[in-house]
Amino acid sequence: MLNQSADYALRAVLFIARQKEGSTNADAAARALGVPRNYLGKVLNTLAHAGVLESVRGPRGGFRLARSASAITLDSVIEPFQRLPERRVCLLGDRPCDSADPCDVHLRWRQIADPVNNFFRTTTVAALLAPLTASRNGAARDRSAVERLRTHPVREAIP
């Protein structure tokens, strides 16, 4: 669902949000996330221009969140790279359709698209990083959000 730049942006912001020092440089983030440094550097600069991150100069410089993690929605992280899908044209391609005049697949598409879009628009970085206290069987989960993102990038995890 997410293009590579949006995926890297989301993964990088989650990584930066977890840094105890408050900032990290592009090299450290690229190594930790297993992504190309030059590509990630461009993504981080774009996020800084969009107001999601701040660029910090100096020997301990790098990037840090521009606002608190609870004030940054996932949509604001990915939007500089990719807009959330909003279907205006029929998926079948033969006519305009909407809820008032739906095509055969419209309702099925809305059942998937609406919750996904709502998730990105309403979920904050802080909420996504909040510990998951239990799995289905009640056992504690111990894998961090960053490790889950490293092994299962967002663009592959969402159909």
pLDDT tens-digit series, residues 84-134: 866 556 667 767 777 777 777 777 777 787 888 899 999 999 999 998 654
Domain residues for the domain of 10 are 4-157
The pLDDT of residue 12 is above 60: yes
- Per the model's pLDDT, the better-predicted residue between 103 and 159 turns out to be 103
Rg, C-alpha atoms of the chain: 18
The pLDDT of residue 142 is above 80: no
- Mean pLDDT on 8-18: 96
Provide the sign of the torsion angle of the four alpha carbons 147, 152, 153, 158, taken in this order: negative
- Per the model's pLDDT, the better-predicted residue between 86 and 49 turns out to be 49
Domain count, the chain: 1
- Mean pLDDT on 28-37: 96
Q: How far apart are CA 23 and CA 46, in angstroms?
A: 16
Confirm if 155 and 1 have CB atoms less than 8 A apart.
yes
- Mean pLDDT on 54-82: 93
Q: How many CA atoms lie within 13 A of 103 on its CB side?
A: 14
So what's the pLDDT on residue 114?
82
Buried b (16+ CB within 10 A) or exposed e, 47-72: bbeeebbeeeeeeeebbbbeeebeeb
Q: How far apart are CA 61 and CA 79, in angstroms?
A: 25
The pLDDT of residue 47 is above 60: yes
Sequence-separated (6 or more) residues with CB below 8 Å from residue 150? 11, 32, 33, 34
So what's the pLDDT on residue 88?
59
Could you tell me the two tokens for 27? 């090299």
So what's the pLDDT on residue 3?
93
Helix residue ranges, H only, 34-124? 37-49, 74-78, 106-122
- Mean pLDDT on 57-85: 91
CATH number for the domain spanning 15: value is 1.10.10.10
pLDDT tens-digit series, residues 19-32: 987 789 999 999 99
